[in-house]
Structure 1
Amino acid sequence: MSVTPPPPKCPACRVNRAAWTNPRVDFCYACLPGGPFTPPPCRTCGTRESYFSQGRCERCHPGAPLYLGACHGCLAWGVYRRHSWLCWTCRWWHGHYPVGICAFCTRETYINGSGACRLCWENARRVQEPGHAINLTEANQHGQQLFLANLQYDTTGARRRRIARERHHRRLQPPSAPLALANHRQPLLFRMPPGKGAIKKRALTQDSPLLRHCDQTLREHALRHGWSKRLVNGVAHTLKLLDALQDTPSSKIRSSDVLAAIRYGATAISTLEVLDTVGLLEDDRALAVERYFAQHSADLPAAMTNQLQLWFDTMLQGRSTAPRRRARNVETIHIHIVGMAPIWRAWAQQGHESFAEITAEDVTRELPAKGSNRIFAEQGLRSLFTVLKAHRQVFSNPMRGMKATRPNVTVPLPLDTQKIRDALNSPDPTCALAVALVAFHALNGRELQKLELTDIVDGRLRLGPRIIPLAVPVRARLAAYLDHRARKWPQTINPHLFVNNKTQARTKPVSKQFPWRMLNITAQSLRDDRILQEIYATGGDVRRLCDFFDIGIDAALRYRSVLDDPKPIATTEHDSGTHDPT
């Protein structure tokens, strides 16, 4: 289809088109030298308004944006150049179907799942009998009837009923064959970053076996977790993106590939859940502590690197065979690495090839003089050489017999009473409940994060073996928060007490910083304040503190040390657990 190009713009105003192209007049009538001049009437329709170029208006000039023409998709009459010569339905059609040869009119255009272009599809719809399926062959065997653009909207509800019948028909059809997984992965010789626009267009138009395979699981998972329609469509779009980005078709999807697709508008976390459910996920994500360890153990001698890797794997995963060892918390491992990393590198620079060459003098020489870095280094080196000695990687433990540095004991300080009262009366029900649970019952951040709805029954909170009767102000804030949660997320199945917009569609807990990032106090400082008030109320009963707050003797003695301070601390109004600050 030949299309007349628009004339060039006026070089003076860069808004209007040139007045004439034959004979050539580069300026518009408003910018002509000696002007402005009044444009002549359109020589086709006679209008004196909206002059465009060559003596014609915007609707009569073939290169004008309002010039009417035929749709490039369905050949319907009545589309504009400004809309790329496409009617509204064909614009949607081109964004959701691939290019192919129509099985009924043999045109090369965008075809749907039945192998028909939109023109053949509309002709079949035109003669479709109520209650019967569309017969594309019979409706198009004698040609097609053209129509006017943008007049095929159904306002009677028949189209919605037809779509419902088609969906019901698809559900009655036998399921398609499962996706045949490839047992190999084709490596790439060169990694060329794909074009962002090309990938998006390919994901919109091409057929996606991955989406077909995951579609039923996606719908069931979304219905079970109360996902919104927007989130379901986002996951479906992400699955099509992953299908377009795959280097080896029909292979399992790496988690890193899903996360890398975010730059194309992907919905990563929810897509990972769906892929994991159908068994197509290859989780290659590394923990933050693993990346930190790899960063600080690089460029070391081979023997030293192998010994460090043995220690790291033992600490992270534990060991069930002799020499047995329990897995440690990732935060503990991180602290050990922070303390030891400078010492590793110093020994490597001194020419040591293995930790078996390290002596007690080497350790003493490289340890920091004082501070928390010395404590972290001593704890890490003691753990490292204990593991290496148990696995017979070193001849002797240079840390054996070395006196440990005692940490400096800090004195916990109380909080301002007004600050606590303001947090308790926060307009956000989530913040008010979190502050109340810590201010009255001294829960820590990890306990709040893992708290579930079933842990609170009949006004009593169960924390492991402990059963805590909730204070009256806590019950009031709990009721307000549960009402807020039921109104805002009525469909969520998250079992945890605290949820937010990110976790309401999943079953994972919130982060440890929620909701404290919205307050000017922290959970630990508020917990310290509550324990201090108990110290002053009971006269420093250490046994009661250990039982009541589930802490050890050393921690209880640290809090009791404030009694030696001659400066008295005023108790706050939430000591007894019965005062309602509202």
Structure 2
Amino acid sequence: MCNKCQRRRVAWSKPRVDFCYHCLPGGPFTPPPCARCGSTTDYFSQGLCQRCHPRAPEKIGSCKDCLAWGVFPQHNFLCWTCRWWRTHYPRGVCDYCGRDTTVGDQGACRLCLEQARMLQEPGRALDLAGANKHGQQLFFANMQFQRFNTRRAELPPRRVNNWKTPGGWGRPGPPPKRLALDEWVQPTLIDVEPDPERLLQRALIENSELTRYCAPIVREHAERFGWSKKQRNDVVRSLRLLQTIRDSPTAKIRASDVLVLPRWGGSIASALDVLEAADLLIDDRPRPLELYFTTRTAALPPVMREQLETWMNVLLGGATSAPRQRSRHPLTVKTHLRSVVPAVTAWADAGHQSLAEITPAQVRAALPEAGGSQRALAERGLRSLFKTLKARKLIFANPARGLKGTQLNGTVPLPMDTALIREHLNSPKPVIALAVALVAFHALTAKEVSELLLTDIVDGRLTLDGRVIPLAQPVRERLARWLDYRQQKWPNTQNPYLIVNQRTAPRLMAAGRTYPWQQAGIGPQKLREDRILVEVRATGGDARRLSDLFGLGIESTNRYVDTLGHPALTGEDSQVPGTSTPT
């Protein structure tokens, strides 16, 4: 101690100085910084601070027994627990780390025992040898930390319905007013297929902000679209599964993740509707045309594939820069692709790597030899392909320039078998009977049948494109039977369309042009042509009447009128079995 103030340590002990820096003659003086850590405060002695001097009372070190950091010299560098150990256990050599220290009843020191407790699995005994095989994890001294409860393995959770509560429909707790979403999401490095059993168990007890946030939306959709209890429960289960399998709990949900839900008992369409209404959906589903393009062009060289992809994108989206081009319907683009891919594949098999290598002779050689629609479609597709590539400066010359088109022969509409029509008119399925009756009696197109609304038919009259069509009595009978079946099958549906099915009844969308014709096995266009041919025979080819009655254009009307003098439809041998010659 300083001989003068008797409070602070002497400035130096070697060489001996009996005063501190504050009491030195001529002082006080500012103590120098610590020679070890550079601290300018808490100077102790011998050029070191209180944290660095080995004899300072606040010198921090490691516990002598468990090596925990954060003990002081005043307790002989022992933590609280090791001080208790020294009074209850003898000193010896640890069986697992080999140190000479205090050893407990299991032959292990406290460091090895804490390491085993840290790695202990619930329901399992301590594995001292396995836990200390590769070393120990050090820790801070005198810290109160919670150990794992080593209770017995629990039984699988009971299947309880936590979605319904006495206070109302929804998950326990009020739904959040706003859902916090992260703009950036860490992508998955390795996709691992989840265990179905564990996934379903977690989904049963899942309770997150996503499901609570979507609960009012699910309830609103169920009431609006007339969902059944089963469908509503399927949507709830789908939301739980999505919350369980998605990578980040604060990220939006990709539509591709929803598409895999049926393997675990989830639904797709209704879940997508709910997520889209909640603004939580990222629609990354590839379009059918893109899937078709990927499948048909997978074996092509990269350059050819890029050229075809550029052509397809221009057809779908159009071009606003010169040369400008209008966008095409996806069905038109698919038709062009279907007609062009065989020729491009043949060129790739011949060793060509780019469409810039193709000559006019090769273009003509790639066309189908037989005339007709296939050759005409191939000519149109190749002309469009090379014209677009030349405009985008991806090829040097257009090899399809000057290619003459093949003249298509017009088709002659033919009557159908009356017995076949009568069979479908009397079908036991009300939807088939109604659809066939609408076309067989009033010559509606498949598009018009699928887009008919319930409000289009009033008092037995159909309003269609400004035309008022009185429905025939057989059509009215089948319409009444279908409406009764529709009300019985889907009593709560809010779909405004006349014809619905299991997929469209809980939504506000049309059933599609192919329903129910694929199920019936009869073509609506052939049925429509048969009805128009009957009217042509009955009116003697009155073009004005045909145009007003069926909404036909000039070319279409002439196509049917020309059948009056066609030799294939005038002779007795040309009659279709089951039909009768009009009188």
TM tier relative to shorter chain: 0.5 to 0.7
Structure 2 CA distance for aligned equivalents of residues 402 and 532 of structure 1? 37
Q: Which moved more, 1:507-516 or 1:567-576?
A: 567-576
Residue in 2 aligned with 1:279?
279
| Distance in 2 (alpha carbons) for counterparts of 1:252 and 1:567 | 68
Aligned residues: 424
Write out per-residue CA displacement over residues 302-344 of structure 1, whole angstroms, 9 at most, x where no aligned residue.
4433332222112223345554433323222222111111211
**Which residue of 549, 568, 571 maps to 1:567?**
571
- Partner in structure 1 of residue 315 of structure 2: 315
Unaligned runs of 5+ in 2: 1-153
Cα distance, 1:187 vs structure 2: 2.2
1:54-203 matched pairs, under 5 angstroms: 94-96=158-160, 164=166, 166-167=167-168, 175-203=175-203
Asked if the contact 2:203–2:244 (Cα under 8 Å) also holds between the matched residues in 1, the reply is yes
Contact 1:338 1:376 (C-alpha < 8 Å) held by counterparts: no
How many Å separate the matches in 2 of 1:389 and 1:275?
Answer: 44
Partners of 2:344 and 2:283 lie apart in 1 by 31
User: CA 1:474/1:418 → structure 2, altered by over 3 Å: closer, same or farther?
Assistant: same
**Distance (Å, rounded) in 1 between the aligned partners of 2:547 and 2:308:** 38
1:357-411 alpha-carbon deviations (Å, 9 max, x no partner): 4332221011111154323211211222333344444454433332212334443
Q: Give the letter for the 2:336 counterpart.
A: H
Q: Deviation digits for residues 549-574 of structure 1, max 9, x if unmatched? A: 34455544444454312325589699
Q: Which amino acid aligns with 1:235?
A: V
Separation in 2, partners of 1:345, 1:94: 58
Does 1:387 pair with 2:388?
yes
What letter is aligned with 2:269?
I
Cα deviations by residue, 1:190-219 (Å, 9 ceiling, x for unpaired):
222111111111111232332111111111
Q: 1:320 to 1:434 in 2, by over 3 A?
A: farther
* 2:505 aligned counterpart, secondary structure: coil
| Kept after mapping to 2: 8 A contact 1:182/1:249 | no
Instruction: Read off the aligned partner of 2:514 and give its amino acid letter.
Output: Q
TM-score by length of 1: 0.66
Could you say which residue in structure 2 is the equivalent of 1:235? 235
Distance 1:169 1:478, change over 3 A: closer
Partner of 2:8: none
Hey, what does 1:446 align to over in structure 2?
447
Q: For the Cα contact (< 8 Å) 1:426–1:432, is it kept in 2?
A: yes
Contact persistence 1:459–1:475 (CA under 8 A) = yes
Change (3 A) 1:306 1:575: farther
- How many angstroms does 1:177 deviate by? 4.6
Please give the alpha-carbon distance, in whole angstroms, between the structure 2 residues aligned to 1:319 and 1:296.
24
Structure 1 residue 246: Cα displacement: 0.8
Instruction: Quote the offset at 1:271 in angstroms.
Output: 0.5
Match of 1:355 in 2: 355
Tell me the distance in 2 between the aligned counterparts of 1:168 and 1:283.
29
Pairwise CA distance, 1:440 = 1.2
Asked whether the 8 Å contact 2:171–2:215 carries over to 1, the reply is no
1:329-348 correspondence to structure 2 within 5 Å: 329-348=329-348
The Cα of 1:500 is off from its aligned counterpart by 1.7
User: Cα distance 1:392–1:453, how it changes in 2: closer, same or farther (>3 A)?
Assistant: farther
Aligned partners of 1:305 and 1:321: how far apart in 2? 23
Query: How far is the alpha carbon of 1:462 from its aligned partner?
Result: 3.2
* CA deviation after TM superposition for structure 1 residue 245, in Å: 0.7
Q: Match of 1:385, as an amino acid?
A: F
Amino acid across the alignment from 1:449: S
Match of 1:479 in 2: 480
Following superposition, the deviation at residue 542 of structure 1 comes to: 4.7
Letter in 1 for 2:158: H
Q: Deviations over 1:498-557 (max 9, x none)?
A: 012221111121133322244343212211211221222233345554554344555444
Kept in 1: contact 2:461–2:469 (CA 8 A): yes
Counterpart residue identity of residue 414, structure 1: P
Q: How far off its partner does 1:223 sit?
A: 0.8
Q: Counterparts of 1:222 and 1:438 in 2: how far apart (Å)?
A: 34
Letter in 1 for 2:571: K
8 Å contact kept, 1:533–1:572: no
2-structure distance, mates of 1:246, 1:561: 63
Report the counterpart of residue 296 of structure 2 in structure 1.
296
Amino acid at match of 1:293: F
Identity of aligned residues (%): 47
CA contact (8 A) 1:452 1:495 kept: yes
- Matches of 2:460 and 2:247 in 1, distance apart? 56
CA distance in 2, matches of 1:365, 1:379: 15
Q: 1:359-438, aligned counterparts within 5 Å?
A: 359-370=359-370, 371-438=372-439
Q: Is the counterpart of residue 505 in structure 1 residue 520 in structure 2? A: no
Question: Cα distance 1:254–1:301, how it changes in 2: closer, same or farther (>3 A)?
Answer: same
Q: Distance in 1 between matches of 2:398 and 2:547?
A: 36
- Report the Cα distance in structure 1 between the residues aligned to 2:558 and 2:391, rounded to whole angstroms: 35
Aligned to 2:23: none
Cα 1:355/1:221, change in 2 over 3 Å: same
Change (3 A) 1:558 1:399: farther
Deviation at 1:238, TM superposition (A): 0.8
Match of 1:225 in 2: 225
CA distance in 2, matches of 1:182, 1:237: 24
Query: Do 1:181 and 1:252's aligned partners in 2 also have CA atoms closer than 8 Å?
Result: yes
After superposition, the Cα gap between the structure-2 partners of 1:552 and 1:401, relative to the gap in structure 1 and judged at 3 Å, is farther
Q: Is the partner of 1:374 in helix, strand or coil?
A: helix
**Cα offsets for 1:8-41 (capped at 9, x unmatched):** xxxxxxxxxxxxxxxxxxxxxxxxxxxxxxxxxx
Separation in structure 1 between the aligned mates of residue 495 and residue 320 of structure 2, nearest angstrom:
34
Q: Deviations over 1:241-297 (max 9, x none)?
A: 111111222211111111112111111111011001001111111122211112222
- State the shift of 1:179 in Å: 2.0
How far does residue 234 in structure 1 lie from its aligned partner after superposition? 0.9
Q: Which amino acid aligns with 1:500?
A: N
Residue ranges of structure 1 left out of the alignment (5+ in a row): 1-85, 98-111, 114-159, 577-582
2:77 counterpart residue number: none
Q: Which amino acid aligns with 1:181?
A: L
| Residue equivalent to 1:549 | 550
Give the SS at the match of 2:242. Answer: helix
Q: 1:462 aligns to what SS in structure 2?
A: strand
1:68 match: none
Alpha-carbon distance between aligned partners in 2 of 1:281 and 1:509, rounded to the nearest angstrom: 23
Q: Rate the CA distance shift 1:479–1:169 in 2: closer, same or farther, 3 A.
A: closer
TM-score (norm 2): 0.66
Indicate the residue corresponding to 1:38 in structure 2. Answer: none
| Aligned-pair Cα RMSD in Å | 3.3
Partner of 1:528, secondary structure, is: helix
Query: What is the alpha-carbon distance in structure 2 between the residues aligned to residue 309 and residue 170 of structure 1?
Result: 47
Say which SS state the counterpart of residue 95 (structure 1) adopts: coil
Q: Distance in 2 between matches of 1:329 and 1:228?
A: 37
Distance 1:354 1:168 in 2: 62
CA contact (8 A) 1:440 1:471 kept: yes
SS in structure 1 of the partner of residue 462 of structure 2? strand
Structure with the greater alpha carbon radius of gyration = 2
Amino acid across the alignment from 1:361: A
Deviation at 1:469, TM superposition (A): 3.4
